[in-house]
Copies of this chain bind each other. A is one copy, B any other.
């Protein structure tokens, strides 16, 4: 459980962006840093509160993702 500090927020209609990242597997440390930095990107670029930003990381194993017609696992 955690406190959810959305009280007192007044939002314009374009706030509350949802970010979905498709990527290969990464460590928790890297994902922690990425979520922090992507959120900062919205705070800086859009001037919206960090509390309005959600980041979802979809980790896809290398045998389920490909480029140039080949699975990454086969490269």
Contacts and interface: CB of A to CB of B under 8 A. Distances in A.
A20 B20 contact: yes
A26 B9 CA distance: 20
Copies of this polypeptide in the complex: 6
Contacts of A50: 68-69
Interface residues of A, number: 70
Nearest to A28: B63
Given A36-B66, A37-B42, 11 more contacts: A1-B12, A1-B47, A6-B52, A6-B68, A15-B24, A19-B19, A26-B46, A30-B45, A32-B66, A36-B69, A54-B67
Closest 6 pairs between A and B when the two form their complex, measured CB to CB: A6-B6, A7-B7, A14-B24, A2-B75, A6-B51, A37-B41
